[in-house]
Amino acid sequence: MKKVLSLVLAMLMLLGTLGLTACGASYNTVDDIKAEGKLVMYTEAGFAPYEFVYNNEIVGVDVEIMKAVAAKLGVELVIEDVLFDTITTSVGNGKADAGAAGITITAERAEEVDFSVPYTSTEQYIIVAADNADITNAEELKGKKIGVQQGTTSDFMVEGLISDGTLAGATLTPYDAPAVAAASIGKIDAVVTDKLTAQIIVDGSNGAYKTFPCVKADGSAVAEVEEYGVAVAKGNETLLAVINEVLEDLIAQGKIAEWESYYNDLAATVEE
């Protein structure tokens, strides 16, 4: 009886695996991408210096990275600008070949997509009106109206701090992009977003806003340091290998840091 049961179980598992492979393989391998002649990247282009619109074109660090990947594959790079919180799902189900959008590598997202090696790191920053004297650290966000970009690590972090009572009485409003949230300062008290993006928004605000690290009064962290990775569909090993190879080269050549500073300066010229 036991033998029969385990045989049935083994067959079921085999069928399950076959079924999963059959419907899970809905992504383009490197060969498919080469055959189609294009690599489709999803991003959300309101996130300088990683992706933003300049002269009607999407530019930035992530665009440079993915252009290098496309060049390595000998194909054209196609960039789609979508809502940030849809990117990992679309990459996970093969609608896009890769997600490059300053995406923080997290355990939750890693259930939906596979991540490249990390290519840069960041931390959370708070943006407030330049004359705001009562919010000077993360703890003082208690009871305040806070804006974030929907579905970002900033969103999840603030939500966590509100629900564990650290930021009792605070309210959270999600926006489509960090700059859209910042434009609502006045109606809301503060915006939380990634460091470089926060600094660019403030630099372009003509002195309207200021920014500082989202840490406690004593300077201790409220969240972990974050690392950005490029996302591909789960199991898309051939594409991930090429992306990792390109990233490792770029990192070794200091290209990522170079582009961060170049696009930081370029973004400052557009965000007036």
Cα–Cα distance for residue pair 12/2, rounded to 1 Å: 15
Which of 46/92 has CB closer to ligand ARG?
46
24-43 positions binding ligand ARG, by CB under 6 A: 43
User: What does DSSP assign to residue 188?
Assistant: B
Per-residue contact track with ligand ARG, 70 to 89, x per CB under 6 A?
A: --------------x-----
Q: Which of the stretches 148-156, 183-191, 217-225, 256-264 binds ligand ARG when contact is defined by CB under 6 A?
A: 148-156
Which of 50/209 has CB closer to ligand ARG?
50
* 12 sits in which H/E element: helix 2-24
Cα torsion at 36, 42, 45, 48 (round to 10°)? -100
Sheet containing strand 209-213, strands side by side: 171-175, 145-149, 190-194, 124-129, 209-213
Nearest approach in angstroms of CB 84 to ligand ARG is 4
Q: Which of the stretches 72-80, 145-153, 214-222, 231-239 binds ligand ARG when contact is defined by CB under 6 A?
A: 145-153
Q: Judge whether 221 and 215 are in contact, CB under 8 Å.
A: yes
Which of 102/147 has CB closer to ligand ARG?
102
* 3-state DSSP assignment of residue 117: coil
HSE-up of 9 (CA within 13 Å, CB side)? Answer: 6
Q: Does 64 bind ligand ARG (CB under 6 A)?
A: no
Which of 30/233 has CB closer to ligand ARG?
233
Nearest approach in angstroms of CB 43 to ligand ARG is 6
**Interface residue with ligand ARG, options 46, 49, 204, 229 (CB under 6 A):** 46
